[in-house]
Amino acid sequence: MADRGRRRRAVGRLWLLAAALSLPTGCLASEQNPPVPPTTAADPAAAPPSAVGTSTPAAPPFGKALVIFGRDTVIAEVARTTEERERGLMYRNDVPEGTGMMFVFTDEEVRSFWMSNTYVALDVAFMDSSLRVVDVEQMEPETTQIHDSSAPAMYALEVPKGWLAAHGVRVGTRARMVVSSR
């Protein structure tokens, strides 16, 4: 009996791995696909918990990711081209609460962000390849100050300023990421 259960779990993991490998990935430092550790929404166990008082979709819309910190979820745009990564959240008058942008790179290294032509104050959470927060920076709008991660990072999540602190996200916090399987 226990053997049958192990086999089922192994087959399930293989299907999940196959689904993850078939996902389109974007937001790259180059035009190559980076390694992507997130789960897919096709896995029912990967469905995110809902934030208190809100409803979180089981799968994000195409081109977006759910970045989950405990019971709190950010619906993040995923930049897919060099131009989208360079533009980031520039020229926007508003970044609604619970939304942001996820930048995905091909490797871990110190990352640098700035706020030129960005009209909204932002927080950025720099994360390593396991989605563990390695640095948090607050960035003021329309400045050219460079915000370097204090440790190598593979991911960077930009959200409205104050969101990270308000939701208890700090260095050492680990996120989960769910990407669309479409």
Mean pLDDT, the chain cut into blocks of 10 residues (182 residues total): 44 38 34 43 38 53 93 92 86 97 93 96 98 98 97 97 98 94 63
| pLDDT reported for residue 85 | 78
| pLDDT reported for residue 180 | 78
- The residues spanned by each domain of the chain are 2-179
Total-model pTM = 0.70
| pLDDT reported for residue 105 | 87
- Are 133 and 126 a contacting pair, CB within 8 Å? yes
| pLDDT reported for residue 28 | 33
**Distances 99 to 16, 78, 91, 132 between C-alpha atoms, Å:** 27, 11, 16, 19
In degrees rounded to 5, what are phi and psi of residue 165? -65, -40
Q: Which residues of 52-71 are buried (b: 16+ CB within 10 A; e: fewer)?
A: eeeebbebbeebbbbbbbee
| pLDDT reported for residue 165 | 98
The architecture (CATH level 2) of 2-179 comes to Sandwich (2.60)
